[in-house]
Structure 1
Amino acid sequence: MMRAIIVDDEELSVKRLTRILRESGKIATCRAFLNPHEAYEYSRANAVDIAFLDISMPEIDGMKLSVLLQELDEEILLVFVTGYDSYAVQAFEVNALDYLLKPVTAQRVAKALNKAGKRSGRAAGAAASALEIKLFDGFQMYGNGDGSSRDPIKLRSPKTAELFAFLVCQRTASREEIIDTLWSGLTPEKAWKNLNSTLYYIRKALDDAKIGSGIISGKNEIRIEGSALDCDLYEFERLLAEMRKAPERCLVLIERVKELYAGPLLKGKNYEWADEYARRLEKEFAEALEYAAKHCSKQGDSVQALHYYRGILELDALREDIVLEVIRTYIQLGRTNEALRQYRKLEEQLKQELGLRPNPQIQAVMASIGLRG
């Protein structure tokens, strides 16, 4: 599913193309702009996979806008839309994916989207691993050893799955550490035997799926070769590190971070060794959301700031500091009824769970505008 923008100063053309794209089943999000300046600013803060650009527009035409967009992200696919076929040669000189004549048809748009899928598929395939591991919101493994399908991989037993999950999370671990964590109640001899046999069954399951395990087993330690797999945890941590290094890109990166964090690490697995790790990741995710929210507030985008603040409250509904920011933002937007509902919700939860009332700072904000009655 792709994220698309449409930029065209003709409102009827925008509505028609928007409808076609949304009905195609291949577009996850579609934002339309009559003003190319607004489209550019949106693309600075949000990831875009494909851009449908009218060529003839005042101030910034489609050609100029295409250059600006690819300066932001050279992977953005460009499709030019115009009523004049005389622009075709010029369009393809800037490496356009396709060129559509108005009025566009669903069949012609479908052809362009098929091209986009093939091009993005080739790019993804060049870097994709045959083994995909999902650790957020549970534990799933998928393989496409022959490159033609994405099939779930089942491991022999719960302990086999736990060992592999442990190795993926730790990346490198000594044999003693693994035994102390997973087989602490066994004699040393039996524990070592269990470790070796469990490793064997992991390798066998992946070999049966025509996938290399990426497990490198030495005399004293065992490690996972990260490049041999595609893991949501690894990508999540990489993006958080990138946000810290390049805070100006936080609004682009945070959306992908949100997609990856589908739920707590290894949710439902009851692995004691993972509890502290899961709490740390949730804390780092909340910090990233808060940073993005404050960044939006500084830019005057209070609605988007609310979106990120609410994401934090989904993790911890009793974060009074975040509830305070949500209430203040609602009041700033003139949505006082929603500010009151947020306050009442916090008030009820605190009373039921802790026997407390909202802190004085929140009460003072509500009282200052007469919303506590």
Structure 2
Amino acid sequence: MTTDLPAPSLAQLFLVGRFACRVGDDDVRLTPTAERVLAFLALARRPVRRHQLAGTLWPEVTDSQALTRLRSTLWKVPTAHRTALVEADATTVSLHRGTAVDLYALDDPDASDTTPVTPMADGELLPGWCDEWVLVERERHRQLRLHALEDRCARACEQGRYTDALRAGLEAVAQEPLRESAHRRVIEVHLAEGNSAEALNQYESFRTLLRAELGLAPSPAIRALVRPLLGRPAD
């Protein structure tokens, strides 16, 4: 007679805005080095060779010492949590395939359609972390999030969900005030609602900011949106 082992609890990693870890209903406290291991594996999105992982996280010591530190770090994570978070063999280590990572939502091009009113994870990726492997991914996350917000704004506007559209568009503007495509999406929502004054106000605020910060004029594309409202060429 065999006894089925219970399925491992779902693990969750939160990297946007802060580092946090949950396994099932438990908040898991990890050492700083364990946090860095899990974050590296999450950002890699694939199995990583042990030598590469250890050498990246402990570059100041020999390869042998770095591998020892990696093994020690992993074994200090309680077994029940470790098996839910990490998969490892003799040569590679990876995040457990069942681990949910907040960052990955932006990797799904249809996320904006399937969850149109659910706020995206807000904040900077791993704030305060200065490792080069974090900085590269942080900029990638920033760009993807801006594009996702603009796409969400456009799709919601097309569906007549103007409140959701404005929420996404204004969030993109707040994150990057000099990003013209974000302002353009907001103007398009105001125009779709018939709020000409709001559209003009958005355009003028962007034009003033752009001139003050960069000494530039808005592009022909955004000027064309408001030109019919002015009765004269848009500046």
TM-score in same-fold range (> 0.5): yes
User: What is the CA distance between 1:302 and its match in structure 2?
Assistant: 4.1
CA distance in 2, matches of 1:224, 1:365: 47
Partner of 1:218: 89
Aligned equivalent of 1:251: 113
1:162 partnered with 2:36: yes
Aligned mates of 2:169, 2:129 — CA distance in 1: 28
CA distance in 2, matches of 1:160, 1:360: 51
Deviation at 1:151, TM superposition (A): 4.4
Partner letter of residue 171 of structure 2?
Answer: G
Q: How do residues 343-358 of structure 1 correspond to structure 2 at under 5 angstroms? A: 343-358=203-218
Query: What TM-score comes out, normalization by structure 1 length?
Result: 0.51
In percent, how many aligned pairs have the same letter?
26
Corresponding residue SS for 1:369: helix
Task: Name the count of aligned residue pairs.
Answer: 226
Q: Does 1:296 align with 2:167?
A: no
1:129/1:230 contact within 8 Å kept: no
For 2:192 and 2:89, the matched residues in 1 are separated by 60
User: Could you tell me how far apart the structure 2 residues matched to 1:127 and 1:188 are?
Assistant: 36
Q: Distance in 2 between matches of 1:130 and 1:295?
A: 32
Of structures 1 and 2, the one with the larger relative CO (CA 8 A, separation 6+) is 2
Q: Is the 8 A contact 1:128 1:230 kept in 2?
A: no
Rounded to whole Å, the distance in 1 between the matches of 2:101 and 2:71 is 24
Rate the CA distance shift 1:343–1:127 in 2: closer, same or farther, 3 A.
farther
Distance 1:296 1:186 in 2: 52
Structure 2 vs 1, CA of residues 322 and 224 (structure 1 numbering), >3 Å: closer, same or farther? closer
Change (3 A) 1:271 1:252: same
Unaligned runs of 5+ in 2: 1-5
Larger radius of gyration: 1
Per the TM alignment, residue 163 of structure 1 is displaced from its structure 2 partner at its CA by 1.4
Structure 1: 5+ residue runs without aligned partners?
Answer: 1-125, 145-149, 245-249
CA contact (8 A) 1:294 1:305 kept: yes
| Residue 140 of structure 1, CA deviation | 0.6
SS at 1:340 equivalent? helix
Q: Which has the higher strand share?
A: 1
What is the alpha-carbon distance in structure 1 between the residues aligned to residue 100 and residue 137 of structure 2? 20
Q: Deviations over 1:311-360 (max 9, x none)?
A: 32233222212312322432343323322332233234323432323224
Aligned residues: CA RMSD: 3.2
Report which stretch shifted further, 210-219 or 159-168: 210-219
Q: How does 1:1-373 map to 2 (within 5 A)?
A: 129-144=9-24, 150-156=25-31, 158-170=32-44, 171-201=46-76, 203=77, 206-207=78-79, 210-214=80-84, 215-227=86-98, 229-234=99-104, 236=105, 240=108, 243=110, 250-256=112-118, 258-259=119-120, 261-370=121-230
